[in-house]
Amino acid sequence: MTDKVTVTFAADTRNVALARTVAAAMAARADLPLDQLEDVRLAVDEAVTQVLLAAVPGADVTCTFLVDGYTLQATVAAPTQATEPPSTTTFSWTVLAALVDSAHSSVGDGVMTIGLTASRGLVDV
């Protein structure tokens, strides 16, 4: 089953909770366990915060969530004047990357993007 949800909101810290809520709902659709669902929620919170810090005034943030089987891919993007993605050597990035299976960031064509992937590890019993 593939399911995709895109949410766009003003680049304002008051809207971070919206992204967290949608992330949790989509993690549940991917059938991620509760502890991993919470990790995804926190990772999306951190990704949105980092994008907000670099967003141009008056910009919109777009969060796209794609569930494919037991995998959730989240992308957070906003227009930016930054020429470099967030540093991967900060405590903030270390926490973000530890919460999901993979995390990456980029800046291109005036848009900063942070991508996250979390998959449910299936264990044979």
Does the pLDDT at position 87 exceed 90?
yes
pLDDT for res 124: 44
- What mean pLDDT comes out for the span 18-39? 96
For 91-117, how does the pLDDT look when each residue is reduced to its tens digit (9 = 90+)? Answer: 999 999 999 999 999 999 999 999 999
Sheet holding 111-119, edge to edge: 2-10, 60-68, 71-79, 111-119, 102-108
Does the pLDDT at position 1 exceed 90?
no
- What mean pLDDT comes out for the span 41-65? 97
In sequence order, what DSSP letters do the residues of 59-121 get, joined into one string? -EEEEEEEEETTEEEEEEEEEBS-SSPPPTTSHHHHHHHHHSSEEEEEEETTEEEEEEEEEPP
Number of other CB atoms surrounding residue 72 within 10 Å? 29
Number of other CB atoms surrounding residue 108 within 10 Å? 8
Domain extents in the chain:
2-119
The architecture of the domain spanning 2-119 is 2-Layer Sandwich (3.30)
Q: Look at strands 102-108 and 71-79 and give their pairing.
A: unpaired
pLDDT for res 41: 97
- Indicate the pTM of the whole model: 0.94
pLDDT for res 2: 86
